[in-house]
Amino acid sequence: MNIMPGSNVVPLSAQKQQKAPEVVAFDRREIDALIQLYSFHVGTGEWRDYAIDMLKDRAVFSIFKRASEVPLYTIEKQPKLARRQGAWSVINANGLILKRGHDLKTVLKILQKKPKLTTV
């Protein structure tokens, strides 16, 4: 092996193995529950767009009335809080936490429409 003078040779064994940064993501069941709720509200004309962000400490599903606005609601999954208040939270546009819990379907109930009684 010929090494040129003045070159810096670093053996591969000494090279630090760099891992891709860990991110929090939604699993298939969670995405299904979120999309089911979203599509119901799209059908009623209330919601028009969504965004999914997978970050280092949390995954966020944001719901928009219009794509150019701030989200009406964000649904966050923060595994770090799973043992305390619960990993799931629903947050409104003002940053107020509407519901927090350990189970996604229970937390999403706050966004589900209740049937209205109509009289004829």
Q: Is residue 104 part of a domain?
A: yes
Q: Is residue 6 part of a domain?
A: no
d(CA 53, CA 57): 11
Q: Is residue 14 part of a domain?
A: no
Q: Give me the mean pLDDT over the 50-63 stretch.
A: 93
Look at the chain and report how many structural domains it folds into: 1
Q: Give me the mean pLDDT over the 89-96 stretch.
A: 93
Percent of the chain exceeding pLDDT 70 equals: 78
Q: What domain range includes position 91? A: 28-111
Q: Which residue has the higher pLDDT, 103 or 6?
A: 103
Q: Is residue 90 part of a domain?
A: yes
Question: Would you place residue 68 in the very low, low, confident or very high pLDDT band (cuts 50, 70, 90)?
Answer: confident
Angle CA 7–10–11, to nearest 5: 135
CA gyration radius for the chain? Answer: 22
Q: Give me the mean pLDDT over the 61-83 stretch.
A: 89
Q: Is residue 4 part of a domain?
A: no
- The pLDDT of residue 24 is 87
Q: Is residue 84 part of a domain?
A: yes
What is the reported pTM? 0.75
- The pLDDT of residue 49 is 93
Q: Is residue 78 part of a domain?
A: yes
Q: Is residue 41 part of a domain?
A: yes
